Amino acid sequence: MKSMLKLLRVALFLVGVLIIPDKIRAQNVEPPDPSFYSVSQEDFRAILSLLKLEMFKFNVNFPMDMKCEAYLYQQEYVERTLIQEKIIWGTRSPYTVFDKNGDSSEQPLANVKMFVKNNTRSFSLVIRMGEFGIDGYELKIDSVYKNPHACKPFKLPEEYKIGSKIPLLLIGSFWNATSIDGTMMAQKFCMENELPGDFSNPAFDKMPHYFVFGIAIKEPRKEENILSNSNY
């Protein structure tokens, strides 16, 4: 957990350091223009790639009048067969927030953020659901799955309903494929920017192993702790 948070700090540090021209750093002078410090999306992507970090933000924007409990779940599949499912964390929507004066207000769940570090045989995640979340979550890949794994986000639905499950992030395996002329073997992964939430993409028939992180939306419970029962 600590190493993951350190990497996030390093990423922000590199944003402020690596983009300064070498001449400016060598001469130890102030740049003549603040634009020397500007960071493009390409710069930031390059820094994250260097650190093997990926950032995903899902703007779920739950309606204020949809009172519910939102469970962050993890599923594991071998091919298309679900072999394991569990709750990682949960929160309510709307939830209570406090300002600097101590005054409280209700706020619906607006977004879910996931910072993912690829460690080759495992993944480290920092997850935020609104104002709360998990500072470190480790996902280990069983050694029986030899192919590398990578991340791909799902396309969000247009509306949210009580009782539905919303897949957010795939961590899936590359698959082996033969070239068109049949002379070479290669490993392939999903080419789309986003995957459909109904798992209709052909990649789900080809991946030998994958994990899915998502949100399950349930009716609110009044007294019981929302994490006390894993049967959601």
Looking from the CA of 221 toward its CB, the CA atoms found within 13 Å total 14
Looking from the CA of 159 toward its CB, the CA atoms found within 13 Å total 3
- pLDDT value of position 18: 40
Could you tell me if residue 230 is inside a domain?
A: no
159 and 45 fall within a common domain: no
- Number of structural domains in the chain: 2
**How far apart are the C-alpha atoms of 1 and 136, rounded to whole Å?**
4
Segments forming the whole domain that contains residue 45: 2-50
**How far apart are the C-alpha atoms of 20 and 231, rounded to whole Å?**
52
Instruction: Provide the residue-wise pLDDT of the chain in tens; the chain has 232 residues.
Output: 455 555 555 555 444 444 334 433 444 445 555 555 566 777 766 776 677 789 999 999 999 999 999 999 999 999 999 999 999 988 899 988 888 888 888 999 999 999 999 998 899 999 999 888 888 899 999 999 999 999 999 999 998 999 999 999 999 999 988 877 777 788 889 888 999 999 999 999 999 999 999 999 999 877 555 454 444 5
Instruction: For residue 12, give both structure tokens.
Output: 């922000």
Instruction: For residue 226, give both structure tokens.
Output: 């929302």
62, 35, 127: which is closest to 89 by C-alpha? Answer: 127
Could you tell me if residue 205 is inside a domain?
A: yes
138 and 33 fall within a common domain: no
Point out the domain boundary residue: 32, 50, 68.
50
77 and 183 fall within a common domain: yes
What pTM, to 2 d.p., does this model score? 0.76
28 and 132 fall within a common domain: no
137 and 208 fall within a common domain: yes
28 and 86 fall within a common domain: no
Strand pairing partners for 175? 188
- pLDDT value of position 9: 55
63 and 155 fall within a common domain: yes
Could you tell me if residue 228 is inside a domain?
A: no
Instruction: For residue 88, give both structure tokens.
Output: 């990682």
Q: Which residues are CB-neighbours of 83 under 8 A, at least 6 positions away?
A: 76, 77
112 and 19 fall within a common domain: no
Q: Which residues are CB-neighbours of 21 under 8 A, at least 6 positions away?
A: 31, 36
Q: What number of helices (H) and strands (E) belong to the chain? A: 4, 13
Point out the domain boundary residue: 35, 50, 65.
50
44 and 128 fall within a common domain: no
- Considering just the CA atoms, what is the radius of gyration of the chain in Å? 21
- pLDDT value of position 156: 96
**How far apart are the C-alpha atoms of 129 and 115, rounded to whole Å?**
12
Can you say whether the dihedral through the CA atoms of 20, 23, 27, 30 is positive or negative?
negative
Could you tell me if residue 69 is inside a domain?
A: yes
**How far apart are the C-alpha atoms of 14 and 46, rounded to whole Å?**
10
Could you tell me if residue 229 is inside a domain?
A: no
- pLDDT value of position 26: 43
7 and 44 fall within a common domain: yes
- pLDDT value of position 35: 54
40 and 69 fall within a common domain: no
127 and 189 fall within a common domain: yes
Could you tell me if residue 223 is inside a domain?
A: no
120, 130, 107: which is closest to 150 by C-alpha? Answer: 120
